[in-house]
Amino acid sequence: MTTVLAGDVIASRVENAVSGVVEEWNSRDVWVKPEAVLDVCRFLKEDSDLRFDYLVSISAVDYIEYFEMVYHLLSMTNNHSVVLKAKCWGREDLSVPSIKDLWQGADFQEREIYDLMGINFSGHPNMKRLLLWEGFPGHPQRKDYLEPPR
Amino acid sequence: MSIRTEPITINLGPQHPSTHGVFRMRITFDGEIILDVEPIFGYLHRGSEKLAEERTYAQVITLTDRLDYVSSMSNNLAYVLSVEKLAGIQPPERAMYLRVLVAELQRIVSHLVATGFFLNDLGALATPLMYCFREREKILDLFEILCGARITLSYMRVGGIFQDAPPEFWPELRDFLGYMPGYIDEYDRLITGNEILLSRTKEVGILSAEQAVNSSISGPVLRASGVNWDLRKADPYDVYDRMDFEIPLGTVGDNYDRYLMRIAEMRQSLRIIEQCVEQIEDGPIKAEVPALVRPPIGDAYGHVEGPKGELGFYLVSDGSISPYRFKIRSPSLINLTALRDMLLGSKLADMIVTFGSMDINMGEVDR
């Protein structure tokens, strides 16, 4: 079975490596500041005990007041996993550092989130829409998206 | 004297017989050598994730059928497992055995389709495909006995399955288990040692293990590169922890290894099905679940080892009857990430073969 690492353990290790970035944690998840996502991920990937070598998925959830980025990370070497989250407050000009340099697998997933949720990933070399066409008005996965009248 | 060459950009698709749906690639060539590839897709985007937010948890099952439409059972299973995790529901034993059984039948279907179309792409037009579809047909007949549908099955329910297997299912399944190993041997004799196949696929489209892990590749493509990772072993769900089976592994990560993985996995699936038939006992097939499931506020990520890779659903509940967020971790989409790296430097004629060996499904890429 894949062990889900406890949130408080991860939180304290992250706080030791990159101080001042952990916002809150519970038994399963850790919340970090959105601008620190790249640094935290680099630590989780390169730390010799944790070794999160595999990015399972990136999701974004629209909670109206804020967007939550959810990173599911896995260590194939140690068979353990963690859920990393980051809250981006506001609805316009949202930006999160891209983690494509760490995991190539983030490429399409970040482009999809940009396309459907409208969150920019700074440092991504090809930040274009993935599924919809260029010039599509709005970001349809947002909760306040309304279909334009036909 | 040197000849001056200029790169040329050509467009492949979106409607091309080898693109398995509607998929487009913009490719830059220097002579016959590929310099750059840009995959373009989204032609089949239906907004499944958004649609699910307007439906009840039970209704979403029908949406999952339409993701990877050659492996509906695996999609159903991944989704119901996610909802069960979110709502804390435990399905009864018999349901878990039947779910594993049909998921493995579905894996065989998907691998047969993958193998048949892969050979089609190689130029063995229609003949191997028809052989593969002959056996696929038998499994679709079994599904028809189970639930009346052949492609869009919606067989699974939150907390169990839709109905128990009728009595006539078991002798048919026994028949199938009797002749299927012989058919797989037949593919081996016809295809595996074929000289054209060997020369077209060996050492072509190589994906290294490091690259595969870094690009979040999963499923047979990952294992062909020699990475021992299968969720059925690494994070077992339902009754996979009681099954005895092996995980076939490749060594080189070329097109040939990816083809071999699928043939070998079909044999292992048959082993699992036989163990299910031996171990299954009578009992209820569905837990007590209200018609309108209202999971507590929270989120959960459930995943299965689908025929194409790790299929996962990230669900967020706000306590109502429909998911607040329904996110699909689609193996076909994420496996495409490595396509560019696999194609760079190879030849025009190998492009279609390498793309075919990835076994992607556009219904799942575009969602």
Instruction: Say if strands B309-317 and B325-329 run parallel, antiparallel, or are unpaired.
Output: antiparallel
Q: Does A70 reside within a domain?
A: yes
Q: Which domain holds residue A39?
A: 3-93
B200-212 b/e with 16+ CB inside 10 Å = b? Answer: bbeebbbbbbebb
Residue A51, pLDDT > 90, answer no
This complex has an ipTM of 0.89
Q: Is A132 part of the contact surface with chain B (CB cutoff 8 Å)?
A: yes
Q: Does A104 reside within a domain?
A: no
The alpha carbon of residue B229 is apart from the nearest alpha carbon of chain A, in Å, by 7
Residue A50, pLDDT > 90, answer no
**Whole-model pTM?**
0.90
Cβ contacts of B217 on chain A, cutoff 8 Å: 105
Give the pLDDT score at B19.
Answer: 65
Give the pLDDT score at B74.
Answer: 92
Q: Which residue has the higher pLDDT, A18 or B60?
A: B60
Q: Which residues pair with A89 in a beta bridge?
A: A66
Question: Which of B42, B216, B312 has the CB atom closest to A131's CB atom?
Answer: B42
Q: Is A75 part of the contact surface with chain B (CB cutoff 8 Å)?
A: no
Q: Does A50 reside within a domain?
A: yes
The CATH number assigned to the domain holding A18 equals 3.30.460.80
Q: Does A106 reside within a domain?
A: no
Q: What tens digit of pLDDT does each residue of B329-339 get?
A: 999 999 999 98
Give the pLDDT score at B1.
Answer: 67
Q: Does A81 reside within a domain?
A: yes
Give the pLDDT score at B352.
Answer: 86
Give the pLDDT score at B176.
Answer: 92
Question: Which of A56, A72, A75 is best to mutate for the B interface (most B CBs within 10 A)?
Answer: A56
Q: Does A99 reside within a domain?
A: no
Give the pLDDT score at B17.
Answer: 67
Q: Give pLDDT < 70 ranges for chain B.
A: 1, 17-19
Q: Does A117 reside within a domain?
A: no
Number of domains chain A is built from:
1
Domains and CATH numbers, chain B: 48-366 (1.10.645.10)
Cβ contacts of A130 on chain B, cutoff 8 Å: 41-42
Q: What value does the mean pLDDT take over residues A44-58? A: 88
Question: Which of B49, B234, B316 has the CB atom closest to A79's CB atom?
Answer: B234
Residue A6, pLDDT > 80, answer no
Q: What tens digit of pLDDT does each residue of B2-51 get?
A: 777 788 898 887 877 666 778 888 999 888 889 999 888 888 898 899 99
Identify the band that residue A67 occupies on the pLDDT scale cut at 50, 70 and 90.
Answer: very high
Q: Does A126 reside within a domain?
A: no
